Amino acid sequence: MISSNKTSVLKEVLAANQEYSRSFSEKSGSASHSPRFAVLTCMDARLDPAKFAGLAEGDAHVIRNAGGRASDDAIRSLIISYKLFGTKEFFVIHHTDCGMEKYTNEAIRNKLANSSEIKGPGSRVGEYIEWLAIADQKQALIDDVLRIRTHPLIPSSIPIYGYLYDLQTGKLIEVEGATEAGALRVNR
């Protein structure tokens, strides 16, 4: 152990892992890694993709970031999922009441520039980051599906679905424009 100053969160995580590892079977370590699809969704802790999509271990690659946006890194992961591990379908799932709807890129940049938690008076380095804030949730979902669909390294044979997860009901709601964008066959 490097540190004897364990926070309560660290202690909880390590205790949960101890419990998990006691019932861990060899099947998990030796199971073939061949997920059927990939899910790009938000990092919001209120979302549990395993539950809302009925996933068991190994069923899908789950890629998460703030807003569930089709950032360069998310697309990199989708390409790896398809090309190296053989996934055949992609789901992009945004959700209601997303924190990324509450801020603009400019507001995030200002918050970082004036943060007292950062060494000194804050940092303007955030000026150079695209935060992918969401002004219109449905349009952002359509844009993300379209960005993935038109990427030159994503084959047009992969279906891409766009859904909005409703935090109040737990339902996945199809977003028509996103489904249409995901169904497009792109000539390259």
Residue-range domains of the chain with CATH = 30-98+134-183 (3.40.1050.10), 104-129 (no CATH)
pLDDT(81) > 50: yes
Whether 63 and 38 have beta carbons less than 8 Å apart is answered as: yes
pLDDT category of residue 29 using cuts at 50, 70 and 90: low
What per-residue confidence (pLDDT) applies to 1?
Answer: 46
Instruction: List, for residues 130-172, the tens digit of each pLDDT value.
Output: 999 999 999 999 999 999 999 999 999 999 999 999 999 999 9
- Total residues found in the chain within this entry: 188
